[in-house]
Amino acid sequence: MTLQGKTRRQALTEFREGEILEAARKVFCEHGFAAATVDMIAAEAGVAKGTLYLYYNSKDDIFWAALSSRLREMLERTKVAVSGAVGLEAKIRTVLKVRFEFFRADEQFVRMYITEFGHLCRTKNRPTHDLYVEAAGFLAGLLEEGMAAGEMRRLPPVETAMALMDMVKAVFAMKFSGVPGVAEGFDGEQFVFDLFWNGVRIRKEEPAHA
Amino acid sequence: MTLQGKTRRQALTEFREGEILEAARKVFCEHGFAAATVDMIAAEAGVAKGTLYLYYNSKDDIFWAALSSRLREMLERTKVAVSGAVGLEAKIRTVLKVRFEFFRADEQFVRMYITEFGHLCRTKNRPTHDLYVEAAGFLAGLLEEGMAAGEMRRLPPVETAMALMDMVKAVFAMKFSGVPGVAEGFDGEQFVFDLFWNGVRIRKEEPAHA
DNA sequence: TATTCAAATGACTGACCAGTCAGTGCAATG
DNA sequence: CATTGCACTGACTGGTCAGTCATTTGAATA
């Protein structure tokens, strides 16, 4: 009731939510959305199923919260890192660096992101969708600045931004897909930067044009 | 029993299988794998549920058959079309042309392919996986020829092939994702070719290098 | 120590659905 | 006409699981 009481309550809520989301990511990652059960998540989090429903309204709710908390984190970290970079090339390198670091550090999250992308396409959860749009818009903004500064060719900004984000996703998907012939020491970050930057930058032998 | 009898039976089987797969694609596309029910597919195909199980062993079976019949078709058509193209640039253009035509012609199939990619990552259905590997390998072979002929930079062939295939997928995913700012008349085929070819070809100002 | 009440519990319910199988009807055969 | 075989049917079963709610727990307060 007092400020102290509120704080205590908030602390508990935050603690439980964190616990639940971490458990959810683990379970959703391991089994996929459909095969994951709420009981599994509860067991993993070390609470009863009913407790989950004190903090979230549905299985979907838990899923979206687990996914978008990480997405938001990644976006924020990207914005901070990019603010310290000068020039389009450095900014793109920075965006890739943050995304790759993030994905490498939390394989559970990437797996979930990749394998449940369809779930996102289908149910169109508002907050998560908005986050996706915001990320694409942010990158598109960087690209537009670069175009205005003559650092890259004129290309549709949003489409190009999404293509870049998708290439990162694709590189990680390669690891899961088990296609033979993918080299062991393959440096995805360098590969994506190289392919994208060469595809996008202005070559000296011909003018910028549309 | 006679040859005649066998032929009749085969004809019936082919007819039913075709009907079922078409219905399955429609239902899986509309609802996604999890939300689609076998009853829906049966109703759509105009047969009883039991009949489906005369031709396929499980819901998964139906799904994989529906997906890979189209994938195989696309791969075969690509191989034929590419055999008539000379030079790496023309071959890549041809690969893209076939894929885009295919995807544009059967939106159900793309949607299914994109939104249920996770299902593929997760359950690793052998025939479908092999088909995916074969498609990647085929494209990778073309790229390697191009590298040997000095038509493109030296890049990891399989990874590059998968990146190209993924860009096509990404362009179609953009349509479904509902991100604002994606231009109405956006030409995905030209965009992918342009970005990829520029990213990959040898620029005059610097040597090929690794 | 007694009281209070929010937090947590987990057994339970109702809906759902993949897969089954006993039965139907029809075309071919004797 | 009787018989056989087989494609087809759809009601049924067994199992699963999201979400609920009556009950318990334990920490804070009086």
> Per residue in B127-143, pLDDT tens?
999 999 999 999 999 99
Q: Is the C-beta atom of A35 closer than 7 angstroms to strand D?
A: yes
Region at B124 (left for phi over 0; alpha for psi -120 to 50; beta for the rest)? left
Q: Rg for chain A (alpha carbons), in Å?
A: 20
pLDDT at B93: 98
Enumerate residue ranges in chain A where pLDDT < 50. Answer: 1-5, 207-210
More confident residue, A80 or B125: A80
Nucleotides of D under 7 A from a protein CB: 7-11, 16-22, 29
Nearest to B158 among A137, A181, A188 (CB): A181
Q: Quickly count: other Cβ atoms within 10 Å of residue A148's Cβ.
A: 10
Tokens 């890739």 correspond to: A96
pLDDT at B2: 41
**Alpha carbon A79 to its chain's center:** 13
> Per residue in A47-78, pLDDT tens?
999 999 999 999 999 999 999 999 999 999 99
pLDDT at A8: 67
Q: Is the C-beta atom of B12 closer than 7 angstroms to strand C?
A: no
The two tokens of residue B200 are 């990959």
Q: Of chain A residues 23-52, which have a CB less than 8 A from chain B?
A: 32-34
Q: Is the C-beta atom of A47 closer than 7 angstroms to strand C?
A: yes
Tokens 């205590």 correspond to: A8
A-interface mutation test, from B122, B131, B139, B192, most A Cβ less than 10 A away: B122
Q: How many CA atoms lie within 13 A of B57 on its CB side?
A: 2
More confident residue, A146 or B126: A146
pLDDT at A210: 41
Structural element, H or E, at residue A47? none
Q: Which nucleotide is nearest to B50 (CA to C1')?
A: D9
Please state the pTM of the whole predicted model. 0.90
> What is the rounded average pLDDT for all residues in chain B?
91
List of residues 6+ apart from B137 with CB closer than 8 A: A181, B158, B161
Contact (CB, 8 A) for A91 and A79 = no
Which of B88, B193, B62, B103 lies closest to A199, judged by CA?
B193
The pLDDT of residue B63 is above 80 = yes
Q: Which long-range contacts (CB under 8 A, 24 or more apart) does B134-137 make?
A: B134/B75, B135/B71, B135/B74, B135/B75, B135/B78, B135/B165, B136/A179, B136/A181, B136/B161, B136/B162, B136/B165, B137/A181, B137/B161
The two tokens of residue A195 are 């392919």
- CA–CA separation, B193 vs B143, rounded Å? 14
Residues B117, A117: C-beta atoms closer than 8 Å: yes
Which of A41, A15, A17, A39 lies closest to A27, judged by CA?
A41
The pLDDT of residue B4 is above 60 = no
Q: Rounded to a whole number, what is the distance in Å from the CA of A55 to chain B's nearest CA? A: 25
